[in-house]
Structure 1
Amino acid sequence: MKFKDLLTSEEKQQFKEAIGKIKPMVQDKVVHPKTKKTSTIRKANDLTTRQGAEFHFSDEFEPNLNQTGPMKYVKEGADSYEAKNLRRGIYQPELILDLHGLNQEHAKREIAALLIACHKEHVRCICIVHGIGNRILKNKVPHWLVQHPDILAFHQAPLEYGGDGALLALIDIKDKF
């Protein structure tokens, strides 16, 4: 049995007289969509991390790299045997970045983002495919990598990873707890 059926017609009429004239209520509340503060915090953290990674790359810095033979570099204090291991293909790249079609600024940002991703994913070996083309990125990418403190070594990639148009790099992964 429903509630409205519990009252007699006389009781319903008395109730209407007691209440008097009524009008329906109008919804006057505005419901605002909730904004996620975590996304803005995450964006701010990502921005500062990206800016910190890009800080290491200067276009004016000219390192003293070997101009004859394959492009290679070993950070001071690191084992020089690591470059040979890269050349021999002992290290397999876990991430590959293709810079074809990018200008210098976009390439610099992509490398910075790659290095951030390497720390998040604990990736030790990467391959950066810069191509040959006009030799702009081919010359700039090693100069940028030398400046980054987490690059232990890099060497021209073996043919299966791009040969003269790519670099294999080892990254020093530090657990930041």
Structure 2
Amino acid sequence: MDKIVFKCKRIAKLIIMKKPSKISDEDKKRFRDAVGNVKPIKNDNIISERPQSSIYQKKHKANYLDPGYEINENLATEKLVGGEEEIKFCSAGENDKKFKRLRQGKYKFEGKLDLHGMLVEEAKQQLAIFLKECKIRSLSCVLIIHGKGYGSKNNAPVIKNKLNQWLRNNSMVWGFCSARPSDGGTGAIYVYLKSN
């Protein structure tokens, strides 16, 4: 799949995905025949723990771009959620048909933002830049990866809870919900943006 990548301060990336080309059934069959039976390679060199986030935090202190889009933190939000809990919000109400399709992962996301390991202020800035770029490109559905908070102090999902608050209070956002397991599960959200 071709991708257009928009880099934000070398930390986060906005990935705009072009529609994949149609692959014929004949080409798919040729590929399966060429690959044959595949066995996974055993790899004992897997590191199961993430490095402490304090090292990352020291390397990536402030120096932000002014995104032009203020993220409102003054309004109240829902209770704090854990890393494995789902989050959801819909300005039209949760029984809306479009929102049900969003929760089922029926919309293809057109952009992606990864906020893993960022400080709250970094994530806030990158989100504002990302939303501004989405509006310029008239994107409808995007994926934001926030993680489950396992690398943060007390294993609390700080960015996840902040996103839950910021996006509820953002006039560009129509709705959002935790992603399907194949797209990150409770460590990511689908965001449906209002049309221009």
Q: What TM bracket, shorter-length normalisation?
A: 0.5 to 0.7
Task: Please tell me the residue identity of whatever aligns with 1:154.
Answer: F
RMSD, aligned α-carbons: 2.4
Change (3 A) 1:86 1:65: farther
CA contact (8 A) 2:80 2:161 kept: no
Superposition misfits of 4+ residues, deviation over 3 angstroms:
64-69, 76-79
Q: Structure 2 unaligned runs (5+)?
A: 1-64, 150-155
Is structure 2 residue 120 aligned with structure 1 residue 104? yes
| Aligned residue in 1 for 2:77 | 63
| Structure 1 unmatched ranges of 5 or more | 1-45
Q: TM-score, normalised by structure 1?
A: 0.63
Question: Alignment partner for residue 93 of structure 1, among 97, 109, 120?
Answer: 109
Equivalent residue for 2:188? 166
Match for 1:150 among 160, 164, 172? 172
Rounded Cα–Cα distance in structure 2 between residues aligned with 1:77 and 1:148: 16
Give a deviation string over 1:100-158, Cα, whole Å, max 9, x none.
11110010111111111111111100111000022101111110001110100101101
Q: Report which of the two has the higher share of helix.
A: 1
CA distance in 2, matches of 1:67, 1:100: 17
Distance 2:81 2:157 in 1: 13
| Deviating more after overlay: 108-117 vs 66-75 | 66-75
Q: Mark the structure with the bigger radius of gyration.
A: 1
Matched, 1:115 2:137: no
Q: Which has the higher strand share?
A: 2
Identity over aligned pairs, percent: 29
